[in-house]
């Protein structure tokens, strides 16, 4: 049996929506993108959302919007995909890495120790779709106001460290009965091909800024900035007599096209009506199976305050080395089941090693990584395939640990 790791969910509704976009004659940013933005706002509950070409671009846009650049520091977890730190580097700021908890997410205690007068933002990451400790992070930035030094217009208005959530995995996740998106000042979702909702490539910047900010005005600013700082998008310019425009910001070109947004437009209602529940059912199947195994550390899914989006099933094997974990993966893969690892901590990667980051400074990140195996989790999986996956994993673990 061959079981892929994370194929996209493409049904007839998606095909019809994309076909409609192609037939309309309008394939770049236009009505489908606006519809997707409205759907994110409708389902998540945020005031405003801007769709862009990737979550990485969305993080960069949020950082630039807040005036973050050279000389500034942004706190990020050491356990995340490289894009979190790269977005910081692309705007000229310095990523300050901190360790994580055993649930994979950033440690609030580690954040507190890392805050300096140079800290302008904290970027928590909801690994696997499990929400971070948002209230504790927000309380921390309020308590550290005396260290904050505003150096831009937006910084002067907020007058504290901004929280920009890298929620690439977490659309549909809940924290204290609120959807992730209502839990930080700005939240960036990913619609990459392997995410719970996809647009092939893409992301969304959801605004939840406190007063006195006007979220609609800030959306308008970001929308302009995401289109080279141009006052009119191509859809508006294409209308009779609408050719004239101006460039008012040194913007980026990171807009999402309609032909891709159409995929998300079709997927969004189905995701919140039943696909998210299907992912949770599969997650719970794994939980019920592996909780009986003495060698398994099962990942968090639900507690009194948090509900995962079930993006990844991050199984860990107790008391094993990185080499043993890799041998287990090789055994599983040889039986036709595609698995993965999420993630290599940033200090293990050459770029960050060369910048002076050392994995020894992040013991929990490494401990999580060395024993982690991500299992397939997507709505197309059948019960027969799930049985094959868990049996294959069990056999691989027990054969490698003998």
Residue 97 — φ and ψ, nearest 5°? Answer: -85, 140
Q: Is 293 a catalytic residue?
A: no
Longest dimension (CA), the chain: 75
Take residue 265 and report the two structure tokens written for it.
């437009």
- Burial track 215-228 (b if 16+ CB lie within 10 A, e otherwise): beebbebbbbbbbe
Which of 120, 195, 278, 370 is catalytic? The answer is 195
Q: Which of 171, 159, 143, 264 is nearest to 212 (CA)?
A: 159
Pairing of strands 73-77, 162-166: unpaired
Exposure string for 271-290, b = 16+ CB within 10 A, e = fewer: bbeebbebbbebbebbbebb
In 45-182, beta strands by DSSP E: 48-52, 73-77, 94-98, 119-122, 162-166, 174-175, 178-179
Whether the Cβ atoms of residue 110 and residue 83 lie closer than 8 Å to each other: no
- The structure tokens listed for 127 are 């690994």
Cα 116 to Cα 114: distance, rounded to the nearest angstrom? 6
Burial class of 295 by CB neighbour count within 10 A (0 to 12, 13 to 18, 19+): middle
Q: Which helix (H) or strand (E) holds 157?
A: helix 153-158
Catalogue the active-site residues.
195
């Amino acid at each position: 049996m061959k079981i892929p790791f994370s194929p996209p969910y493409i049904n007839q509704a998606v095909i019809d929506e994309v076909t409609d976009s192609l037939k309309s004659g309008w394939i770049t940013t236009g009505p489908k993108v606006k519809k997707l933005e409205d759907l994110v706002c409708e389902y998540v509950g945020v005031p405003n959302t801007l769709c862009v070409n990737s979550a990485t671009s969305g993080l960069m846009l949020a950082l630039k919007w807040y005036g973050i650049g050279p000389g500034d520091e942004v706190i990020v977890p050491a356990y995340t995909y490289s894009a979190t730190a790269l977005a910081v580097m692309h705007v000229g700021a310095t990523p300050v890495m901190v360790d994580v908890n055993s649930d994979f997410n950033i440690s609030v205690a580690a954040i507190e120790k890392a805050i300096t007068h140079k800290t302008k933002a904290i970027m928590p990451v909801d690994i696997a779709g499990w929400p971070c400790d948002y209230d504790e992070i927000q309380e921390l930035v309020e308590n550290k106001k005396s260290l904050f030094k505003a150096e831009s217009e937006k910084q002067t208005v907020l007058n504290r460290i901004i929280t920009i959530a890298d929620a690439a995995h977490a659309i549909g996740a809940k924290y204290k009965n609120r959807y992730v998106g209502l839990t930080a000042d700005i939240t960036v979702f990913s619609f990459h091909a392997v995410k719970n909702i996809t647009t092939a490539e893409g992301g969304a910047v959801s605004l939840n800024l406190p007063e006195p900010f006007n979220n609609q005005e800030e959306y308008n600013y970001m929308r302009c900035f995401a289109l080279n700082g141009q006052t009119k998008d191509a859809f508006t310019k294409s209308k009779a007599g609408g050719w004239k425009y101006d460039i008012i910001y040194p913007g980026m070109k990171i807009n999402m096209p309609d032909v891709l947004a159409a995929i998300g437009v079709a997927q969004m209602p189905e995701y919140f009506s039943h696909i998210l529940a299907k992912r949770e059912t599969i997650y719970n199947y794994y939980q019920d199976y592996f909780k009986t195994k003495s060698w398994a550390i099962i990942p968090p899914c639900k507690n009194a305050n948090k509900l995962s989006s079930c993006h990844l099933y991050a199984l860990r094997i107790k008391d094993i080395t990185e080499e043993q974990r890799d041998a287990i993966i090789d055994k599983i893969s040889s039986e036709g089941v595609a698995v993965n690892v999420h993630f290599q901590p940033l200090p293990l990667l050459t770029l960050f090693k060369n910048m002076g980051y050392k994995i020894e400074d992040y013991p929990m990140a490494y401990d999580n990584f060395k024993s982690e195996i991500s299992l397939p989790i997507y709505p197309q999986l059948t019960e027969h395939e799930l049985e094959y996956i868990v049996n294959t994993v069990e056999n691989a673990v027990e054969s490698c640990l003998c």
